[in-house]
Structure 1
Amino acid sequence: MPSTDTTACPHCGRPDRGEPFRVLSRHTTATGHTEWTRCECGSLQVRVADGRGTRVVSRSGPAARSGAASH
């Protein structure tokens, strides 16, 4: 479904409807589905797909880089 929103990731500037993003999980709802995705920059996003289209309704900052030393 096309995005009903023209927003972009505030961390990397990619359009919310753009690729690449990785779908981590998808859950059916009464009106469509909810997806947990990860943007190319590492931001975790919650996308809702229903009769109004697909849109990002929540997001985090980019994930910490793996392999970084923590002391």
Structure 2
Amino acid sequence: MTSTTGTVCPHCGWPDGAEPYQVVSRHGTAAGSTVWTRCACGSLQVRSVDARGMRVVSRSRPSATPAGRAANSPCR
């Protein structure tokens, strides 16, 4: 799925233009950088950052377990 700044996560509504919920990794590229992030719903996102700004270029489905919560946690 491709999206641009100003849109929201289709799974939970977290704004794409907001600070990422969690930065997983950051890699420099010839044009700028690629940032792998995790949304509040657990969806893994690939963000491209260059002179034109930031845009989400790929996004997964949410994880079965919300980010930051152990799989065997009693709080679900």
Q: Secondary structure at the match of 2:56?
A: strand
Work out the CA distance in 2 between the residues paired with 1:20 and 1:40.
8
Work out the CA distance in 1 between the residues paired with 2:36 and 2:7.
17
Match for 2:72: what amino acid?
A: G
Partner of 2:72: 67
What is the root-mean-square deviation of aligned Cα atoms in Å? 1.6
Work out the CA distance in 2 between the residues paired with 1:19 and 1:50.
16
TM-score by length of 2: 0.77
TM-score by length of 1: 0.82
Contact 2:32 2:50 in 1 (8 A): yes
Aligned length: 65
What displacement does 1:67 show? 2.5
Work out the CA distance in 1 between the residues paired with 2:40 and 2:19.
8
What displacement does 1:5 show? 2.1
Match for 1:53: what amino acid?
A: G
Partner of 2:17: 17
Give unpaired runs (5+ residues) of structure 1.
none
Give unpaired runs (5+ residues) of structure 2.
66-70
User: Where do 1:7-46 residues align within 5 Å?
Assistant: 7-46=7-46
Question: Quick one: structure 1 residues 19 and 6, their matched pair in 2 at CA, closer, same or farther if it must change by over 3 Å?
Answer: same
More strand by share: 1
Displacement over 6 Å in runs of 4+: none
